[in-house]
Amino acid sequence: MKNIFCLIFASLSFALNAINIDGKLDDQEWSNAEKVDQFYEVFPFSLEPFDKKTEALLYVNQEGIYVGFKNFQDMSLAKKVKTSRDMMTIDSESNVVVIDFNGNALEAYEFLTTLGGALIDGVFQNSNNVNRDWDGNWIASVFEDKNFWSSEIFIPWDVVNMSPVDGEYRKIRIMFGRFYAERSTWVSSDKTSYSRNKFLTKISQREIKNYQTSSIDYFPYISSSSNSIQNINESRIGIDIFWNAGDGSQINAAFNPDFGQAESDDLVVNFTAEETLFTEKRAFFTENQSLFDIADRDKFRIINTRRIGGKPSYICSSFINEDECETSKKTYSDLDYAFRYTKKTGTMDYGILTAKESDEKFSMGKDFLALRARNKINNTTIGYMYTEVEDNIFGTKAYVNAVDFDQYTNDKIRLSSIIFSSKKDNTSGLGFKSSVRYRPNKDTSFHTSLRYFDDELDINDFGYLQRSDYIQLSSRGSIDKNDYDKSSKLASREISAWISYSSDTNGNSNPLMLNPQIEYSYKDGSRLNIFTTLKSSGKDTTITRKNKEFPFIKLKHNMSITIDYEGYITRNLRYDYRFSFDKSPKQNWQNSKGYKKSFYKIGTNYYLDDSITVGGIIIYKKEKEWIRWLNDNNFTSSSLIRKEISFNLDWFIKDRHELRLKSQFIALDSNDPIGISSNETGYLQINDLNTSSFEIGRSALQIRYKYEIAPLSNLFIIYSRGGDTNIEDEQDGATNLVQDSWLNPSDEIISIKLRLKY
């Protein structure tokens, strides 16, 4: 066994490269590299030539693409902080290269390294939509000298799936960038930035030699976990296989996959009718997944991969041992396999994604299928997706069809639309989102969107829909100022206003919303944002969970103001605070004084040194006449106090060794409740229902040790603990609530996971 592991570990590292990736730029090959030394300020978007000497080098051989940077500056002022992978920070100097390997402005990949040695990567689609869930197989290193720092980045040819090309050369788009932390300034070799509508199309084209090759990577894993509270012990072994055929085809397959998360989700207490959307953190669904991403911010996602491996379906009443079924219910499903195939052919991309959940004693796993195609012709991209989910317990199938469209009419106008339909149990639904973006000049922009989701639309078997039965027309305009002189402390200023009208499909109007704001960005990295939200009177069309007799309640007009500031006390101590106040007129019932809310938040990050960061957040929120739905048309109105504290620690003990602590504690206290109900017209009135106060306490802690054996090969040792406390008609106090949830946990898990790449 020892010899087997020695062989596995020996195969993990990259092959010996022509250039030694140590950050020093002293290899002979760099003398033959292409040099770029003209950079422009793109945040703030002044497009002024950057006044600090910066050189980017590009070298290509049969192994891959090498990029080097030499960044001149006063190193005594340089910021250097170690962070985990994909953790963006404004507290460390950085270099970035963005590459569109197919040169068609359809998809590009971001490779960023910080002076602290962190790696950050992501995928750009539809010109400027970025997703940083993707983790690629590339390496980088940095080096510090007296008056400059340098970096070297190595990107193997098989890091992404590329379209095949004829001939010796490949056309790519490539942009080089730098973050200068002293002034919080991003600079670029091209006069464009991530925020621009035509970001990818504005990146410079180059011809490089084409060394596209095939490769196959294996990711075997072993994991073991023990839950001492629920007395559950699990051990798993499986493998992920990633095959890049070198002809534009890529296959990802997982057998007996382990989809356990090494990163915990934030605690959420949600009283609304809308589901909380969590991001994907599982490795299989972040690799080569961008083709299947059709989404509209937090409004909807045609595929929400968190559904795969989600809570199983149960019909316990159909079993003789019903009690055993009830007690054995799980919140997640194991998987037999998952499979994904993608193909790139010039401007056409297509693929298939399928997964099968495991059957268990009292449940049967679901089957998932997705088909996707996308084509780009000149400035227009059009795509199609089909998804299908079969629930083998209930014997139902759910289908979704979606068409997405994106077009640049010219340099100033961008049009985009997504039209999709659902069908389940002989019920069909339709939805769409269309938008137009207009940027008459570099400092002014307008964005208008129209959304329509009918009341039968349901994509939640595989996707995510925040709410159905919904119409919204919204528009936002902004004016930037980026040309402050060098003596000014200001870097940029944005004045904007957002207006939104929405209703259900029967014409019941939600409050009309107007949101003007002004945001200042300063050259020292601090930021001030002030905004108000003005809401007219209207209807809440979701709170009664689409009750047919009582579809809404009427709301009074509301006004709020929020101030949000991020700044520095010292170079090593960053803080931010936010406070906001809301107010509405009194309600129709006796002794009402109107809704009021005050919110306070303060957070901080302190860098003990380059390798240790501690941070925390404290939140206090108080609401008067807070309305909570009970059932049908019955509610309570009460005072609500929310207290929350979180603490994080990141310690990079030494190279490849990382210790991370993440903790969060929430206490909710609702008191002085009165019973209220709504009539058919939505007006609220006091009723004679018995009501009671309640308290909720939630706690979560995760301690994670990570050892990076090699890129994408890691050993995790994780301890996690969490608990919930719910108390009716008692006052226990926030401290006791947190103590109760901590001392009486619902889960206490120790897990070990080894995932290798070779």
Per-residue model confidence as pLDDT tens digits over 301-337: 999 999 998 889 899 988 888 888 988 888 888 889 9
In a domain, 96, yes or no: yes
In a domain, 29, yes or no: yes
Residues contacting 748, CB < 8 A, separation 6+: 227, 228, 229, 720, 721
CA–CA dist 99, 251 (Å, integer): 22
pLDDT category of residue 11 using cuts at 50, 70 and 90: very low
* pLDDT reading at 23 higher than 90: yes
**φ, ψ dihedrals at 685, nearest 5°:** -150, 155
In a domain, 582, yes or no: no
Write down the pLDDT at residue 10: 39
CA–CA dist 752, 392 (Å, integer): 32
In a domain, 185, yes or no: yes
In a domain, 259, yes or no: no
The residues that bridge with 538 in the sheet, in sequence order, are: 555
The beta-strand segments (E) located in 181-231 are: 185-188, 205-209, 215-227
Q: What is the pLDDT of residues 399-429, one digit of tens each?
A: 999 999 999 888 889 999 999 999 998 899 9
Span of 110-114, 569-573, 578-582 with lowest mean pLDDT? 569-573
Structure token digits, residue 144: 């510090």
Structure token digits, residue 265: 């989700």
In a domain, 52, yes or no: yes
Q: What is the mean pLDDT of residues 161-174?
A: 90
Q: What is the pLDDT of residues 213-264, one digit of tens each?
A: 888 989 899 999 898 887 888 888 989 898 988 888 999 998 887 655 566 7
CA–CA dist 726, 744 (Å, integer): 12
pLDDT category of residue 15 using cuts at 50, 70 and 90: very low
CA–CA dist 580, 403 (Å, integer): 40
Find the angle CA(89)-CA(95)-CA(100) to the nearest 5 degrees. 110
* pLDDT reading at 73 higher than 50: yes
- Mean pLDDT over each residue of the chain, to the nearest integer: 89
* pLDDT reading at 633 higher than 90: yes
Return the top range by mean pLDDT from 103-107, 530-534, 719-723.
530-534
CATH of residue 55's domain is 2.60.40.1190
Write down the pLDDT at residue 609: 84
In a domain, 97, yes or no: yes
Tell me whether strands 215-227 and 396-408 are parallel, antiparallel or unpaired.
unpaired
- Between 56 and 166, residue with greater pLDDT: 56
Enclosing H/E stretch for 435: strand 427-441
Residue 53 sits in which domain range? 18-209
Write down the pLDDT at residue 591: 86
Q: What is the mean pLDDT of residues 170-176?
A: 95
Contact present, 337 and 351 (Cβ < 8 Å): no
Q: What is the pLDDT of residues 672-688, one digit of tens each?
A: 999 999 998 999 999 98
Write down the pLDDT at residue 744: 81
Contact present, 68 and 151 (Cβ < 8 Å): yes
The residues that bridge with 382 in the sheet, in sequence order, are: 375, 405
Span of 144-148, 280-284, 661-665 with lowest mean pLDDT? 280-284
pLDDT category of residue 2 using cuts at 50, 70 and 90: very low
Write down the pLDDT at residue 735: 66
Number of alpha carbons in the 13 Å side-chain half-sphere of residue 420: 31
Q: What is the mean pLDDT of residues 488-511?
A: 95
Percent of the chain residues topping a pLDDT of 70:
95
Residues contacting 26, CB < 8 A, separation 6+: none
Percent of the chain residues topping a pLDDT of 90:
59
C-alpha 385: how far from chain center: 22
pLDDT category of residue 179 using cuts at 50, 70 and 90: very high
Contact present, 323 and 315 (Cβ < 8 Å): no
* pLDDT reading at 212 higher than 90: no
Write down the pLDDT at residue 140: 95
User: What Å distances lie between residue 104 and 26, 348, 360, 490, 703, CA to CA?
Assistant: 34, 10, 46, 37, 43
In a domain, 116, yes or no: yes
Which spans in 200-343 are helix H? 322-327
Write down the pLDDT at residue 341: 96
* Residue type at 305 in one-letter notation: T
Q: Which of 607, 608, 652, 520 is nearest to 91 (CA)?
A: 607
SS3 label, residue 90: coil
Number of domains the chain contains: 1
